[in-house]
Structure 1
Amino acid sequence: MGLAFVPSLTLATPTAKGQLISESLSKQTWRYMENVMRAMRRSLKEDSQTLSWQLLPGMQILLIQSLLKPPLNLSSLLHLSSLPPLAEAKDPRRRGPLILGGSMTRQPGGLSMRSGLACLNKWDSLLSEVKKVKSYETRRPSGKPGYFQMNQTEKREVALPANVDQQVYNLVLDATAGKASMTPPTVLESSSEGERGEKREDDEDPAPKDEAWMFGAARPEGSPFGEENERGLKRKGKWGEQRKELANTLKSNGEALEVQMQASEEGRQKRHEATLEISKEQWQMDMALRKEQLEIDKKKIELDTKQVDALSLIAQAFAKIAEK
């Protein structure tokens, strides 16, 4: 049986009923490890002493020792005498040993062990690099080479991680189900649209009275629903009330916004008209001043002309006196 990549450290301890209690850093890892242990218990018999481990290059494998009987000897199983055993500690809050997960990686010099915390840090770092590569591959500009066709200088220019193996990249995408767990969609994006049925003639709008309680109305007497659905009915009725309140709030906000926009438009129009009036008055005043200045200039020219004529007559008179 091959184990896939697990993205966090899981603490597991057996209970008296033989169930597995897990404390995980994420609910996704918790569910994943429960499925893994359930599959291991189904595939291994009580007298089984062999287990096939699939060691993928560059991948982290979380080793969990739990309810297998008899306990497996991982060192002899993997034919590694130097492989350290899994750490055991006592949890004062519960009975029984607390088993800590470890990690194992294929290195050039052989297999090496990592602690659970180191495994978690390794996964976070690797996932961050894979996200960057995936984001670049998804939004790669036209004519640009792919990440795995770029050299170190080109990767550095576009701020991409330098050493992401293509096989590891593909394995991480497979382990995280592609895009789903790497960039979780929103609730609206993850929901299916479905098919909308055609409206029939006997359909009522709003909802019929026997369904009005779902939208906040009082629940009718003699309802066919049992007591086990009481909590769900209350929740639906509460959501109906909240939806009504939200609709009323949005409606009042829309009306207030409309009034505010109308008042703003009226104020802007008034300011524009006032500006036009002021500009018109200022233009009229400028024209009147220019006309007055023009009249003054005309009178000045006339006075200058008369003064020149008078001086000319005086000069002629002096000339006649000089001749005598």
Structure 2
Amino acid sequence: MSRPSRRPVRAAVSLLAACLLAVGCSVQVPPRGALGGSAGRTVAVGAYLHYGSPGVDRMRELSRWLGGTELRAGHTYLPGDSWANIEGAPESLRTWARWRRAKADRLFVLNVPMLEHNESGAPDARVAELLRAGARGEYDRHFRRLAQRLVGIGVPDTILVLGWEMNGFQYTGRCRPDAEHWKQYWRRIVAAMRSVPGARFRFDFAPNRGIDAIAWTRCYPGDDVVDIIGMDSYDQPPGESFDDQIAQPYGLRQQVAFANAHRKRISYPEWGLFRNGDDPEYMRRMLAWIAAQKPLYHSITDYCPHGVWQCHENPRSARVFRDALRSGRGRPR
């Protein structure tokens, strides 16, 4: 999904997970605190609230709205307009780094474009040329500089959502124009960033739910260069119902099965409302799915039309989200 203008085999599953995997299963909202309170510490809750330093302040405000629920996943994006920004030029990274270092169990999640001019609408032929150049190592230096910056500001364990939604049509760093060179390029980026002393990054491979422009499995670059298998999953077609979103080819069920087969944790870096408007049933089902699957982290996209806190267009979904994630340790303010 475009952000608003920024420019810059687990062998066994729980009964609930088995229920969710059966199309047509009826699911209730998780108990209060199951996703965000002390009982849910194994799943880091996050939200995309703003790309820059205001996002840190808004994390605190959202936590208060949730009655004190701790948001352990801080999520932001590097602008894809220039190589300088992809190298980590935004000063707001220092603010996010301070937030991450304040508590040992926090996760800093950073989406990283693979190419500059990432939302320029470049044609397939041009994208293919750029991917071949990347696979030859022509852009390695940019990613070494990013790694050096992240290590230097004290976040060497950042989770990097590299080339997100690569199976789509939108971004310059997309896979379909040349899947083989895209995979080679991913591998070069990972090697360049891991070569920096002190680096302990984890790399999150996060396609769109569904087939989109290409089956995302065709873009998978290898277990040695992927640490987490994510998925961006909004309330929109393909998938007219949540059961469809589970069962569709390359949907939620296939993500979990693929991750289990490759012995990887899963994540949901982006999810939220979209084309179906204020949809409390989607919100209930998605939260129940997350509670059953226990991803490493999930991050709701919270601006209109996707959001539940910063966007007042979705009051029924906001109540579901708040009731599910609200901490039992205090009252919302």
Fold shared per TM-score above 0.5: no
**TM-score bin (small chain):** under 0.3
- Greater RCO, 1 or 2 (C-alpha within 8 Å, sep 6+): 2
Give the TM-score normalised by structure 2: 0.21
- Superposition TM-score, scaled by structure 1 size: 0.21
Larger Rg: 1
Higher helix share: 1
